[in-house]
Amino acid sequence: MGIRKLGYVGLNVTDVEAWTDLLRRTLGIGVTTATFGTDDVALVELDEFKYRVALYPSAEDSPRELGWIVDTPRELDRLSQRLTDAGFTVEDGSAQEMELRGATRLRWFTDPVGYRVELAVGEAKARTAAARLGGAHAGTTGLGHFVLASPKFAELRELYESVLEFKLTDYRAPGLFFFRCNTAHHNIALAHANTTAIHHLEFEHGSIDDVGRSYDRAKADGAPISISLGRHMNDKAISFYVRNPSGFHLEIGCGGIEVGEDWVPHDFGVSDVWGHHHANANPFATSKS
């Protein structure tokens, strides 16, 4: 009970057109639009639900909201009280925000680094499958996880592990820790860094063939592939990364393992089984080999 999964991410972006081109043409991901206030917001379709990523036109590139799906209204109330007891101010979302999210209830608070974190009950199904180029079924199956890097690592860990009840799956000492709220290996990872930023957001795909086709399109289109195709050591996912128009990474992956209640957190040592060669320096590299 409690938080069930990562539901959606909202981003302020300076170039919605570049984002849409990357998603539609290069990655084969459907994008629709909706009106929110005076803006047309681009909604990124990763599965049968209304959207998983919302792109708001803005004068700056920054995270706007990080949305977690909560099981029930009772659990929303319980978590709201835990947040209040921990010193966070919890607010109700507006009717327009609930409508856009497809939620029946919505609350939010500001995390230790200043990001708006939302807790939502309910999701709106909008289709039987996400759209894809040529009318075929989509290779994407949902929104997997994100990695948040910050000098306020300790405060973020306290929030997610102690207050919101995420469980530690594994880590790479001294500064990269993976947490879960369901049976997926991780739904969020927290990292030590000098500045606060989202390192990457992961789009889940149904098979290695879907990932491979996206990889081929990305290379053919000259997309900025920031980390090459490879397999992670800890969750065993096969993926590659592209740098999006807002400057951070999108991970296109499949095959991540699931873990049970008997899982023992551990330091998994090296980052990858094979591949995942970085175009630029890896901020999470260590001297381990």
**DSSP secondary structure letters along 91-111:** EEPPHHHHHHHT-SEEEEEE-
The CATH class given to the 141-275 domain equals: alpha beta
Beta carbons of 19 and 245 less than 8 angstroms apart? yes
Mean of per-residue pLDDT scores for the chain: 93
- Angle CA 205–210–215, to nearest 5: 105
Percentage of the chain modeled with pLDDT above 90: 88
Q: For residue range 223-257, what is the model confidence (pLDDT) as tens digits?
A: 999 999 999 999 999 999 999 999 999 999 999 99
User: What is residue 152's predicted lDDT score, i.e. its pLDDT?
Assistant: 97
Superfamily classification of domain 3-121: 2,3-Dihydroxybiphenyl 1,2-Dioxygenase, domain 1 (3.10.180.10)
User: CATH topology of 3-121 equal to that of 141-275?
Assistant: yes
Q: How far is CA 197 from CA 14, 201, 248, in A?
A: 16, 11, 8
| Residue 139 confidence (pLDDT) above 80 | no
d(C-alpha 19, C-alpha 223), whole Å? 11
pLDDT band at 287; cut points 50, 70, 90: very low
Taking the domains of the chain in order of start, what are their residue ranges?
Answer: 3-121, 141-275
Phi/psi for 208 (5° steps) reads -65, -30
Look at residue 140 in the predicted model and tell me its pLDDT.
Answer: 86
Under a CB-based contact definition with an 8 Å cutoff, are residues 143 and 188 in contact? no
Q: What single-letter DSSP state applies at residue 48?
A: S
Question: Do residues 251 and 244 make contact, with C-beta atoms less than 8 angstroms apart?
Answer: no
Write the secondary structure of 111-178 as one string of H (helix), E (strand) and C (coil).
CCCCCEEEEEECCCECCCCCCCHHHCCCCEEEEEEEEEEECCHHHHHHHHHHHCCCEEEEEECCCEEE
Tell me the two tokens of residue 228: 């090459």
In the predicted structure, residue 211 carries a pLDDT above the cut 50 = yes
pLDDT digits (tens, 9 = 90+) for 23-57: 998 998 989 999 999 989 999 999 999 999 999 99
Tell me if residue 250 falls in helix, strand or coil.
strand
Region 132-145: mean pLDDT is 71
* Res. 286 pLDDT band, cuts 50 70 90: low
Q: Tell me the pLDDT tens digit for each residue of 98-135.
A: 999 999 999 999 999 999 999 999 999 887 665 555 54
The predicted structure's pLDDT at residue 284: 80
Q: Is the CB of residue 139 less than 8 Å from the CB of residue 206?
A: yes
Tokens 């930023």 locate to 197
Rounded to an integer, the average pLDDT of 132-160 is: 85
**What was the pLDDT predicted at 288?**
40
Please say if the pLDDT value at position 63 is more than 90.
yes
